[in-house]
Chain A
Amino acid sequence: MKKLILVCLGLITLISFPLNCYADEDGFGSVYDIVPDNVKDTLNDSDYQIESLQDVIDIISNEGIFSLVKIAFSDYSLPFETVATLVLILTINCSLQLLIDKPETKKIAQIICSLIICVIIAEPLKNIIISVTDCLNSSGVFMFSFLPIFASFLVTTNPGTSAVAYTATTYFFSELTVFISRSVLTPLSTCMFTMSVVSSVSDGIFNNLISGVKKLIIWTLGLVTSIFTAITSVQSIITSAADTVAIKTGKFIVGSSVPVVGGYVSEVMNTIIGSLTVMRSGIGLFAIIVMIIMFLPVTVELLMWKIGVKLCQVISCGTENEIGQNIINAFDDVITVMLSITICVFIGIVLSISSILVFGGVK
């Protein structure tokens, strides 16, 4: 009887003082909180109202994943305006070479032109490096907060030791890639550009050192991508079985056009397509959208610069300004490295999320 009374009292107490406990319906709230501010601003400025995970899924299912790409686009006229200015300066330099008789004065005029080319290039380069570093930082911070939340969701729904172990490994390498890119490769690229500038004006005194630094950057990037390829090779289960002609063509184009990491991107292309197929729904898709919004503007900007600089290189071949040509080539090298880093990190993150999804039991 006493026990019954005690149970009744306990029940009454529980009913009298209710605890407001509820689960976040789809986990979107906690994930949305860790989205970087610039991505939140971009999403808020867009025509789409993303307030829940269902909104994301609706947009993708109604308009396709590339409908979100347009959110990330902005004005990319600056690279071409800068290139036009560079062409103008190179033309003025050519005129100067014709107007001046004395070789010494010619050389001074050439140095002045090259310094101006250098300043005009260096300012956008600084902004590019800032954009890439910010992007890497934001992605690192986002992944640092997102992956544990995401993994905990998956482990709760489908517990498994392999999922936890794989999550930890992927998470570690994803963070390592971001760290190496941000703390080693980006400063090395800056050093390479600075040395190239000095070397151009002083008869190539740093040429060997520059080629060494360039090799170091490419090797480091190659090592990182190799490690990632090794990890992602485990993911054959998410690889799309149909290796169609379109995918083969895509692989060839990517392999030959993307600098430095083209081979890697081509190698894991099936895995990327498989990953995107896996992430048709769920929080993983939202993470990919965040990554696209974060990385796409930087990548497109870098591509625009790459096209512009290539154009400038072609035009500068016809001029006699060797110093200017060397500076433009150095700028091209830095853009190439930055583009490679951006693509490499982006793909690494996409693969990390997808691998956790697969090993977490998402079908």
Chain B
Amino acid sequence: MNIFSIIIVSVIVSVLAVLIKQNNPAYSVLLIVLFVVIITTVGINYLFDLTGRITESVGRISYAPEFLKILLKAIVICVLSDLASNICKDSGNGSLSVCIDVVIRIILLSLTLPIVEKLVEIIQGLFNL
């Protein structure tokens, strides 16, 4: 799916959503969610391709690919959580949006644990020299 098809489909979906919202707001939200899922899947496919290339290019530094994977995972989580949180907010579920934000922050912090462990290990090694 190229950029033009994405733009055209998004314009069509937004017009449809406005039209449907007048008669049935629930279906409008569903339509938007469906479109977001499709678009995100396309975006994530591009991201995986990018991840592969970046990992290949930094393969020489032994631990870099491992941490780059974590970073890219964090990007995906951040973007998806932002989308989900905004959708919840738009559909009037503010508390759900806040809940998503908090959970996502906890998940992100847990993602950094291997990095912190590695850092502590290196610093311990430095002091044992």
Residues of A bordering B, CB below 8 Å = 78, 81-82, 84-85, 88-89, 92, 95-96, 99-102, 104-105, 108-109, 111-113, 115-116, 118-120, 122-123, 125-126, 129-130, 133, 186-187, 190, 193-194, 197
Contacts and interface: CB of A to CB of B under 8 A. Distances in A.
30 contacts: A81-B58, A81-B60, A85-B61, A88-B54, A95-B75, A96-B75, A99-B82, A100-B78, A101-B86, A102-B82, A102-B85, A104-B101, A108-B108, A108-B109, A109-B75, A109-B78, A112-B74, A115-B115, A115-B116, A115-B119, A116-B67, A119-B63, A119-B67, A119-B122, A120-B61, A122-B126, A125-B126, A129-B126, A129-B129, A197-B119
A335 to B, nearest CB: 14
Contacts of B86: 101
Contacts of A118: 119
B107 to A, nearest CB: 10
Contacts of B104: 105
Interface string B103-116: 01100110110011
Contacts of B72: 92
Nearest to B74: A112
Contacts of B87: none
Given A112-B74, A113-B71, A81 B61 contact: yes
Contact of A112 (B112, B125, B129): B112
A36 B70 CA distance: 43
A119 B121 CA distance: 10
Contacts of B108: 105, 108-109, 112
Given A112-B112, A133-B129, A102 B119 contact: no
Contacts of B119: 115, 118-119, 122, 197
Given A100-B79, A100-B82, 17 more contacts: A78-B61, A81-B58, A81-B60, A88-B68, A92-B75, A102-B82, A105-B78, A105-B104, A109-B78, A116-B67, A119-B115, A119-B119, A120-B63, A123-B63, A129-B129, A190-B129, A197-B119
Given A112-B74, A119-B118, A122-B123, A105 B109 contact: no
B109 to A, nearest CB: 7
B105 A88 contact: no
B71 to A, nearest CB: 6
B40 interface: no
Nearest to B109: A108
A122 B122 contact: yes
Contacts of A84: 57-58
B126 A190 contact: yes
Contacts of B38: none
A128 B35 CA distance: 52
Contacts of B112: 111-112, 115
B74 A85 contact: no
B4 interface: no
Contacts of B46: none
B42 interface: no
Given A108-B108, A120-B67, A96 B115 contact: no
A112 B70 contact: yes
Contacts of A111: 112
* A95, A99, A105, A197 interface centre (most CB from chain B within 10 Å): A105
B40 to A, nearest CB: 12
A233 B128 CA distance: 38
Contacts of A99: 75, 78-79, 82
A241 to B, nearest CB: 45
A113 B67 CA distance: 9
Nearest to B75: A96
A328 B23 CA distance: 57
B37 interface: no
Contact of A108 (B70, B79, B105): B105
B19 interface: no
B64 interface: yes
A78 B101 contact: no
Contacts of B85: 102
A125 B122 CA distance: 9
Given A99-B78, A190-B129, A89 B71 contact: yes
B81 interface: yes
Interface string B72-98: 101100110110011000000000000
B101 A112 contact: no
B80 to A, nearest CB: 11
A190 B127 contact: yes
Nearest first, the 10 closest Cβ-Cβ pairs linking A and B are: A122-B122, A115-B115, A116-B67, A190-B126, A85-B58, A108-B108, A100-B78, A112-B74, A81-B60, A119-B118
